[in-house]
Amino acid sequence: MLRITSILILTLALAAPAQAGFDEGLAAYNRGDYATALREWRPLAEQGDAVAQYLLGHVYDYGHGVPQNHAEAVKWYRLAAEQGDADAQSNLGVMYGNGRGIPENDVEAVRWYRLAAEQGHASAQHNLGFMYDNGRGVPENDVEAVRWYRLAAEQGNAKAQLNLGAMYYKGRGVPENDVEAVKWFRLAAEQGDARAQLNLGVMYAGGRGVPESLVHAFAWWNLAAAQGDKDAAKNKDIARNRMTAEQIAQAQKLSNEWLRKNPKLMGQ
């Protein structure tokens, strides 16, 4: 499933126009007072403020202070998207891509992703890459998929980093390159992406792009499995039969040390 842009209150607070009621709505939302936030934002949205329209779409999308209503979310996202709001364009693309509040339509999803992606929106760039990767709404094109994944990955988008790593691993749209695959898997894994942690473990287990190390493989699978990744749990069980008790203890210690230094390893 494609991912929807989550609300970033602090960023929006800096980017939002200074209008009466807007800051009050942000403060109310941050403390969980959704009714007040809606009361402050709705007049602004109805007056055509694109950021307020986007926020109103978000609260309907997730049912914050109102009954969840995807059709109403689509309405407000569209109003903001048509004014050029990149967050709204990206989220409208998600609604089309997943058939939420509107009939599923990959061509429309691609259209809105592209508008946001061309403004530098990382989630939209990732999603546009996904559409090219899978031939949804556009002809399958690995080179274009890599292009958009890379733009998003370079902005720190973990899913794009994971998928760019996979493209290097498989040699799709770029020459096969295990070192590059490891680089991108690691960047995503360090942000807590469980599938990237799984893949990085696989690279260590096979000595692809890194020196072979079951200890490091087990340590990464340990982190992924703790987040519920079933493939990582299976790999741990298989590796355990090939490792000494000392190696297993070393791997456990390693994953604990990594987690202590970087709590993001367990997701956000």
Q: Give the pLDDT confidence of 80-104 residue by residue, as tens digits.
A: 999 999 999 999 999 999 999 999 9
Inter-residue contact 109 to 93 (CB < 8 Å): yes
Inter-residue contact 90 to 115 (CB < 8 Å): no
Determine the Cα–Cα distance for residues 25 and 121; give it in Å rounded to an integer. 24
Determine the Cα–Cα distance for residues 108 and 46; give it in Å rounded to an integer. 25
Mean pLDDT to the nearest integer, 190-214: 98
Alpha carbon of residue 254 to chain centroid:
27
Determine the Cα–Cα distance for residues 67 and 76; give it in Å rounded to an integer. 15
Tell whether pTM > 0.95.
no
pLDDT at 29 over 50: yes
Determine the Cα–Cα distance for residues 222 and 21; give it in Å rounded to an integer. 47
Segments in the chain forming alpha helices (H): 9-15, 22-30, 34-46, 50-62, 70-81, 86-98, 106-117, 122-134, 142-153, 158-170, 178-189, 194-206, 214-226, 230-240, 245-261
Phi first, then psi, for residue 222 (nearest 5°) are: -60, -45
Model confidence at 20, in pLDDT bands (50, 70, 90)? low
Give 8 or 27, the one with higher predicted confidence. Answer: 27
pLDDT cut 70: percent of the chain above it: 92
CA 153-164-92 angle, 5° bins: 60
Inter-residue contact 125 to 148 (CB < 8 Å): yes
Looking at residue 14, its pLDDT comes to 37
Determine the Cα–Cα distance for residues 136 and 110; give it in Å rounded to an integer. 8
State the chain's mean pLDDT as an integer.
92
3-state class (DSSP) for residue 92: helix
